[in-house]
């Protein structure tokens, strides 16, 4: 799947994902059930992969150019 986002849309998407990531980390820390914790950790790894693909640093460079 490919999607083209403006820098503003990219920032919003990153904000949403980062907020979800923080909540996910809290949920992982609070979860006692081993199997459920493994599911949450897998989701966290997938989310990290998405962050890499979105390339936060590229967005920052684009914002600097626009300023």
- Predicted model pTM: 0.74
Domain contains 2? no
Cα separations (Å) of 61 from 7, 15, 57?
A: 10, 17, 6
Instruction: Give the total number of structural domains in the chain.
Output: 1
Cα angle, residue 49 at apex, residues 46 and 50 outer, rounded to 5°: 90
Domain contains 58? yes
The span from the CA of 14 to the CA of 61, in Å, is 15
Provide the domain limits for residue 53. 7-66
Q: Which residue in 46, 53, 66, 54 sits closest to 9, CA to CA?
A: 54
pLDDT digits (tens, 9 = 90+) for 20-67: 999 999 999 999 999 999 999 999 999 999 888 887 656 666 667 766
Question: What Rg, from alpha-carbon coordinates, does the chain have?
Answer: 15
Domain contains 1? no
Domain contains 38? yes
Domain contains 16? yes
């Amino acid at each position: 799947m490919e999607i083209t986002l403006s820098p503003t849309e990219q920032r919003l998407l990153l904000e949403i994902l980062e907020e979800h990531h923080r909540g996910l980390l809290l949920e992982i820390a609070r979860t006692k059930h081993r199997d459920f914790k493994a599911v949450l950790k897998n989701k966290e790894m997938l989310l990290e992969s998405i962050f890499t693909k979105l390339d936060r640093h590229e967005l920052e460079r684009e914002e600097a150019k626009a300023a």
